[in-house]
Amino acid sequence: MSLSRYPENSETILYISCGIGSYQIDFLNMMDSIKSHFGEEISLEELDITAEYIHTRCIGYDLYDSSDYDNYIVITRK
């Protein structure tokens, strides 16, 4: 049985999909998403920004298939 699981945003974490097939994101669009999620008063000093390659599709089906993974920018509020 194939299982898909996409990351979910929370109060402290924002996931922005940025892989092939996703829309292009520039810094201003990313800041708009951050402010929309965390509030207009958020500053860069309050955030950690990382990139993650997350297994989202066909979980439990096979060990590795690159098409089952997606790239995300992960913004975490400290």
Give the pLDDT of residue 65: 81
Contact 16/33 with Cβ under 8 angstroms? yes
pLDDT per residue as tens digits for the range 1-25: 568 889 999 999 999 998 666 667 8
pLDDT per residue as tens digits for the range 19-47: 666 667 889 999 999 999 999 999 999 99
**Average of pLDDT values for 49-59?**
91
Q: What region does 21 belong to: left with phi over 0, alpha with psi -120 to 50, or beta?
A: left
- Give the start-to-end residue ranges of the domains of the chain: 13-77
Q: What is the mean pLDDT of the chain?
A: 89
